[in-house]
Amino acid sequence: MSGRMRYRVARPRAILAAALIACLAVAIAAAGRGWTLWSRATDGRRAREMQAERTTEFDLRAQTRKEQEAVRVNGWLSVVSSSAVTLQGARGELYATLYEPLSGEADAPLAIALHGGLGTDSAQVRDVACTLSLAGYRVLTPDLYAHGRSEGTASTLGVRDADDVRAWVDYAVGRSGGDARIVLFGQDEGALSALLYLARDPDPAVRAAALDGVSGDLLRRIRTYLGEVGAGGALHAALALPWARARLGMPLARVAALSSGEGVYTPLLLLCGTFDEEAPAWEGEDIAARAEEARVLLVEGARHGMARYVEPDAYYGALTSFYEDALREDGRM
């Protein structure tokens, strides 16, 4: 009888221990799965697979102009003076190229042009650098952390890159002897990093920022990236989001609040494509409505990152006039 009683008492304990071990194993597996998904979704050097898209007249026109722009950029690169720049960031060494203005002006204003998302590097904004160099700007084009030749293996989708923007601005201010006049250009992740930098005590040397395809809704973007690596669905998002928060260094709600435009006093130009699904035009309009001083350029028919190819004259006209207006306050351009 006593042996049977001992058996009945010991059995629930064994079941409980087994259940705890099983839960621990599931938690470890889930954590590993979340880490794997997040790492795959934010591999900064991963080239995105080509996706079939509905072809429109805007797509065809943009692609043609993009190919034509490559010829122009190559001609500019053959005559412009450039140099490599390295900077020790908080997370590792960062790389950039510095292009001189064709005007040769020693006190030319500096434009820092930040490229976009996964699988890209500073070459993506070389056409912007070409236009600004021809307009009289010295242009710095950094590779974001975990992109191009900069160190790192996992992107933070532009969030922690805001600290790197600060480092590049500090570099420019120091290089100028404290008399820097700086404008920012950012696309996609680069645009978010610039906006987050401006939301947190920017240097007064930064006179203006143009943001192309900016979005602070990282939950949507993370789900999109997970889908691209074959890990869509609520379960995969739930597994990856804790790791995303750890990687980003702040809650996603905090990112959304900082990128809302509220409390940004640096003049902004929001460049938005009406066919942009990754950063819908209404997000740019909302940021402009909350910022202290902002303009919006809507480019009809442009997909994400393609606005300057769909309507290059309107795009670059708005960009250069916006910068000129911001710089005109000190009597120099």
Task: Look at the chain and count its residues.
Answer: 333
What does the angle CA 309 – CA 311 – CA 316 come to, to the nearest 5 degrees?
85
Q: Does domain 55-216+259-330 sit in CATH 3.40.50.1820? A: yes
| Lowest model confidence (mean pLDDT) among 53-57, 197-201, 223-227 | 53-57
Helix (H, G, I), strand (E, B) or coil at 281: helix
Q: What is the pLDDT of residue 27?
A: 59
Task: Report the 10 Å Cβ neighbour count for 272.
Answer: 24
Q: What is the pLDDT of residue 1?
A: 46
Strands of the sheet containing 268-273, edge to edge, are 82-88, 93-99, 138-143, 110-114, 182-187, 206-212, 268-273, 294-299
Contact 252, 277 (CB under 8 A): no
- 249 Cβ neighbours under 8 A, 6+ residues apart: 156, 159, 160
**Average pLDDT, integer, range 262-286:** 95
Confidence of residue 60 (pLDDT cuts 50, 70, 90): confident
Residue 296 sits at φ, ψ, to 5 deg, of: -130, 135
Q: What is the DSSP letter of 99?
A: E
| Nearest Cα to Cα of residue 88 among 198, 180, 171, 197 | 171
| Full DSSP string of 229-272 | TT--SHHHHHHHHHHHHHHHTS-HHHHHHHTTSTT--S-EEEEE
Q: Which residue has the higher pLDDT, 329 or 319?
A: 319
Confidence of residue 5 (pLDDT cuts 50, 70, 90): very low
Dihedral sign, CA of 299, 305, 309, 310? Answer: negative
Q: What is the pLDDT of residue 173?
A: 95
**Which tokens sit at 165?**
């923007």
With a cut of 90, say whether residue 49 has pLDDT above it: no
Q: What is the pLDDT of residue 48?
A: 43
| Nearest Cα to Cα of residue 115 among 45, 49, 173, 202 | 45
**Average pLDDT, integer, range 57-81:** 88
Confidence of residue 222 (pLDDT cuts 50, 70, 90): confident
Contact 268, 261 (CB under 8 A): yes
Q: What is the pLDDT of residue 42?
A: 58
Task: Report the 10 Å Cβ neighbour count for 313.
Answer: 8
With a cut of 60, say whether residue 53 has pLDDT above it: no
Residue 99: strand pairing partners: 82, 139
**Average pLDDT, integer, range 7-20:** 63
- Sequence ranges of the domains in the chain: 55-216+259-330
Q: Is the pTM of this model over 0.85?
A: no
Q: What is the pLDDT of residue 76?
A: 94
Helix (H, G, I), strand (E, B) or coil at 70: helix
Q: What is the pLDDT of residue 106?
A: 80
**Average pLDDT, integer, range 1-17:** 56
Q: What is the pLDDT of residue 262?
A: 95
| Lowest model confidence (mean pLDDT) among 15-19, 64-68, 78-82, 257-261 | 15-19
**Average pLDDT, integer, range 40-63:** 59
| Nearest Cα to Cα of residue 320 among 210, 192, 211 | 210
Q: Identify the helix (H) or strand (E) that includes residue 299.
A: strand 294-299
Helix (H, G, I), strand (E, B) or coil at 294: strand
Contact 147, 298 (CB under 8 A): no
With a cut of 80, say whether residue 40 has pLDDT above it: no
**Average pLDDT, integer, range 13-25:** 68
Distance (Å, whole) CA 271 – CA 88: 31
| Lowest model confidence (mean pLDDT) among 52-61, 172-181, 309-318 | 52-61
Q: At what angle do helices 57-77 and 126-134 cross, to 10 degrees?
A: 60
